Amino acid sequence: MTLSVEQLSVSINDRPVLRDLTFALADGERLGVIGGSGSGKTLTALAVQGLLPRGATVSGRILLDGVDVLALDDAELAKLRGDRVGMVFQEPKTALNPLHRLGRQMTESLHLHYRLSRGQRREAAEELARRVGLDDSARMLRSYPHQVSGGQRQRAAIAAAIAANPTLLIADEPTTALDVTVQQGVLRLFLELSETQGQALLFISHDLAVVAEVAERVIVLDRGELVEEGRIEDILATPRHPVTRALIEAADGRPA
């Protein structure tokens, strides 16, 4: 079991934001987390990495590869991130440092963990570029974030997240800022990576149609609570909760 969240409750300034959340993610499994804004999706992703804001009160357990994340100190958490968990955000423009070349950023976590030589680092960067489908890698690795397209930036951000071979990859609305034709390629990349690298994937989105393209199983959150859980086909065929039905309806009114 890669991830096991048990009865997780979180309050921020005495306002409950996650209530009694229990779910698990098997090794190599792709789990979608879906809900509207304010449902607690992003907070769940942050909690799993020990990134809750100051002033948050937490109860329950989060086991990542058997280690209780909530019991770790800052140094241990820093090691956990990048090493065990990789994270991809919605907006690669803000997630990447504008002052550093892509090649350097893609290998940052690797370098922190293994102290690579320049040659090793270049080799690792080239290998990563190949894995995330960044063509013309020599030029890409030398480029700064603003010099490449949104899709290429997101591929570079994904490369950075998977560089140290984490067991869990978390993606929070990773295609929301991308054009639809670019989105397709990035979603396919998540599928490929999960198949070739065997990483577990926690994929967060408000859009059920996007989640359905990558996830095998989904959990539906509403106001901090898990309201429905199941295999994607079952949820789509027989949704029980009104929020799930509304999400399906929202995703259905589209050109097919």
Partner 1 sequence: MSEQGTERRDPVLLEGRALVKRYRQPSERLFRREPETVALNRVSLAVREGESVAIVGESGSGKTTLLKQLLGLETPDAGEVRFAGTPVVPRRGDRMLWLRRNTGIVFQDPYSSLNPRMPVGAIVAEPLGALDLPGDHRALVIEMLERVGLPADTAERYPNEFSGGQRQRIALARALVHGPRLLVGDEPVSALDVLVRQRILAQLTELRQEMGLTLLTVTHDLGIVRQLAERLVVMRRGEIVEAGPIEDVLTRPEHPYTQQLIAAVPTLPRR
| Residues of the shown chain interacting with partner 1 in the complex, contacts defined by CB under 8 A | 36-38, 150, 179-184, 187, 206-210, 212-213, 233, 236-237, 243, 246-256
Q: Which is nearer to partner 1, 99 or 180 (CB)?
A: 180
With beta carbons less than 8 A apart as the criterion, state whether 144 and 102 touch: yes
Q: Which is nearer to partner 1, 75 or 237 (CB)?
A: 237
Q: How far is the CB of 166 from partner 1 (least distance, A)?
A: 26
Q: How far is the CB of 167 from partner 1 (least distance, A)?
A: 27
With beta carbons less than 8 A apart as the criterion, state whether 34 and 206 touch: yes
DSSP per-residue codes, 49-60: TT-PPTTEEEEE
Q: How far is the CB of 240 from partner 1 (least distance, A)?
A: 15
Q: Give Cα separations from 148 to 124, 154, 189 (angstroms).
A: 20, 10, 18
Q: Which is nearer to partner 1, 181 or 196 (CB)?
A: 181
Measured distance CA(3)–CA(94) in Å, rounded = 27
Structure tokens at 40: 């607690």
Q: How far is the CB of 27 from partner 1 (least distance, A)?
A: 25
Q: Which is nearer to partner 1, 88 or 128 (CB)?
A: 88
Reduce the DSSP state of residue 96 to 3 states and report it.
coil
Q: Which is nearer to partner 1, 50 or 150 (CB)?
A: 150
Measured distance CA(74)–CA(35) in Å, rounded = 30
Q: How far is the CB of 38 from partner 1 (least distance, A)?
A: 7
Structure tokens at 147: 């010099």
Place of tokens 């504008």: 98
| Nearest of 179, 171, 126, 128 to residue 149 by alpha carbon | 179
Q: Which is nearer to partner 1, 117 or 238 (CB)?
A: 238
With beta carbons less than 8 A apart as the criterion, state whether 189 and 133 touch: yes
Distance linking the first and last C-alpha atoms of the chain:
37
Q: How far is the CB of 180 from partner 1 (least distance, A)?
A: 4
